[in-house]
């Protein structure tokens, strides 16, 4: 059983749709929750991160963490073709160890014009 499980996808949606990407985890020590976006043949880049439970919004992106359910989500509003990428969730128990985060396998999203 992996520590972090991510909805495998792939996911294909029409432009303008609301997208929900999800991960579950088993390690209750995780405190930092990150979402990375990875375009084809590129390195991952951080989209946003949250500390502990709650929501965080950044433009069209909203990250939610429910520690009681060990469940995190990334919502993308008004999805655009440029959002087509693989999205990776990542988790760490501390800030200083965040470079050693545990990653999900990724969900590949395609937004069709």
Partner 1 sequence: DAGITQSPRHKVTETGTPVTLRCHQTENHRYMYWYRQDPGHGLRLIHYSYGVKDTDKGEVSDGYSVSRSKTEDFLLTLESATSSQTSVYFCAIRGQGGPEAFFGQGTRLTVV
Q: How far apart are CA 109 and CA 7, in angstroms?
A: 11
Q: Nearer to partner 1 by C-beta: 17 or 93?
A: 93
Question: Within a 13 Å sphere around the CA of 19, how many CA atoms are in the beta-carbon half?
Answer: 29
Contacting residue, 63, 104, 109, 111, with partner 1 by CB under 8 A: 104
Q: Nearer to partner 1 by C-beta: 17 or 50?
A: 50
Question: Is residue 1 within the footprint of partner 1 (CB under 8 A)?
Answer: no
b/e burial code for range 6-40 (CB count within 10 A of at least 16 → b): bbeeebebeeeeebebbbbbeeeebbbbbbbbeee
**How many amino acids of this chain bind partner 1 (CB under 8 A)?**
22
Contacting residue, 19, 79, 101, 111, with partner 1 by CB under 8 A: 101
Q: How far apart are CA 93 and CA 70, in angstroms?
A: 13
Q: How far is the CB of 50 from partner 1 (least distance, A)?
A: 10
Question: Is residue 18 within the footprint of partner 1 (CB under 8 A)?
Answer: no
């Amino acid at each position: 059983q992996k520590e972090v499980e991510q909805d495998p996808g792939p996911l294909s949606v029409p432009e303008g749709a609301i997208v929900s990407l999800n991960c579950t985890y088993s390690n209750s020590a995780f405190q930092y929750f990150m979402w990375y976006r990875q375009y084809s043949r590129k390195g991952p880049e951080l989209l946003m991160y949250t500390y502990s439970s709650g929501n965080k919004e950044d433009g069209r992106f909203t990250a939610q963490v429910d520690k009681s359910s060990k469940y995190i989500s990334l919502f993308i509003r008004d999805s655009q073709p440029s959002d087509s990428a693989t999205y990776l969730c990542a988790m760490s128990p501390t800030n200083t160890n965040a470079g050693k985060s545990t990653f999900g396998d990724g969900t590949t999203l395609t937004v069709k014009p």
